[in-house]
Amino acid sequence: MSSENLEQDNENFFLWRDADCADDCVLATYVISTPVGGAQAAMGLAREQSICATHLNDVAMPQDIQDFCARVMEVVELPGPGQAITPLYFLNTSVYGAQTSAGQLRQFKIVIAYPVLLFGNSLTRLWNSVFGEVHRLGYLSAAVLVDLTFPASLAGAYSGPNFGVPGLREKLGIPDRPLFCRSMRPAAGLSTATMLHINEAVLSGGFDIIKDDELTYDSARSPFADRVRRMVDMKRRVEDKTGEAKLYFANIIDDCSTALAMAEQAELLGADGVLLSASAQGLSFISAVARRTDLIILSHNSCGDSLSRAGSWGASDAVMARLQRAAGADLVVSPGPFATSYQDAAAAQAFLEACRDTLGACVPVMPIIQGGKQPDHLAQYTADVGSTDYMIIAATWLDNHPDGIQAGARAFRDAWDALLQEGNKT
């Protein structure tokens, strides 16, 4: 719609009423920066993301039109100046009238209640309602969707992960330790034979999971069906040799019609799971794969950090994790700074809560940490997560091990065993 309408006609339509029921609404919390008043900006956002127009000169509005209005529940001015993330603009036309900056940028936390009546059980429609054109509004110089609260009635409509933390642990027979995984590197240009050589060493060294990289595509050097078939055969040989269960995830990040067929083919060929991208392929694609297959779903962060990394623009990692979990993802990628000295403690905790707090009947989703991870920091990673319910994706450290990739993989397992022995002594 992009109405840019800051007029305050029928403002009572967009204000929370004592008679309204929060159990019928999704509560969206935003932090915005704007030169106009916080209440006016919040009302403009609520108007834009729900019914937009409140009257038409030659059309009688439905008597229940107010039931479809998003409503401003809370506006709190935050300390400090607002953020200038993107340039302001105002649609000063004869349609909207003259509107200009009212002063310096100020920062506000606003909570808007969106009636479930607007979108029903559809996560795509919900996402379009709470996020859609918020960032097109010219009077917002910064805007981030920091939290979503689902009413119990809506949360109960989502089945969530088919496996999640408990299912992954059951499949691997690992009750209480981090899971270890290597992503395919180099991501492109390798033959399937070379990939098999690398991954067999990784699994034989003690890693639990191997996966294609998000950039490992169906190619002449490694045709998808041939790669999956041979990777599954190799994985089973290693299982027989080691007596340990192993998992293989195939990459299906592709056009949606192609990707669904790839998922079904991967399942037929014996793959344990697939990786896909919620941001590139859509939230509903996660649900489609979860419905059509019995595969573990790793929801990759590809294309997603453009929404979450800016901090003052887009959506938080917690919001994205909660949506992916509701859609049916079994594993989600943590924020880039997570488990490093750069992490924001509050944002990290919010992300973890989104992975495992109460969400209808949805089981907890397993967070993935990655980026330069090494075995001698396992204690710190576990402390940062607050439990052993996480998966590490590591490649560079074990690839550079002086005794080779297999020894590098074994070093992670040995480090965990040593950590357990040290704990038992104390």
Which residues fall within 8 angstroms of residue 139, CB to CB, at 6 or more apart? 4, 6, 34, 35, 36, 41, 44, 88, 90, 99
In 68-189, the DSSP E strands lie at: 71-81, 106-115, 142-149, 179-183
Do residues 292 and 132 lie in contact, with contact meaning Cβ atoms separated by under 8 Å?
no
Strands 25-34, 142-149: pairing is antiparallel
- In whole angstroms, give the CA distance from residue 157 to residue 320: 18
- In whole angstroms, give the CA distance from residue 355 to residue 348: 11
pLDDT at 179 over 90: yes
Give the model confidence (pLDDT) of 320-346 as tens digits. Answer: 999 999 999 999 999 999 999 999 999
Give the model confidence (pLDDT) of 16-55 as tens digits. Answer: 988 778 889 999 999 999 999 999 999 999 999 998 877 7
SS3 content of the chain, % helix, strand, coil (to 5): 40, 20, 40
Burial code of 154-163, b = ≥16 C-beta within 10 A, e = fewer?
A: bbeebbbbbb
pLDDT at 100 over 70: no
Q: Where in the chain is the domain with CATH 3.30.70.150?
A: 11-155
> Taking the complete model, does pTM exceed 0.85, yes or no?
yes
- In whole angstroms, give the CA distance from residue 323 to residue 376: 33
pLDDT at 242 over 60: yes
- In whole angstroms, give the CA distance from residue 358 to residue 266: 32
Q: Which two structure tokens, joined as six digits, stand for 257?
A: 């019609």
11-155: CATH topology: Alpha-Beta Plaits (3.30.70)
pLDDT at 182 over 90: yes
Helix or strand run (H / E) with residue 297: strand 296-300
Query: How large is the average pLDDT for residues 120-138?
Result: 96
164-425: CATH topology: TIM Barrel (3.20.20)
Q: Where in the chain is the domain with CATH 3.20.20.110?
A: 164-425
CA within 13 Å, CB half, 348 = 17
Query: How large is the average pLDDT for residues 299-308?
Result: 94
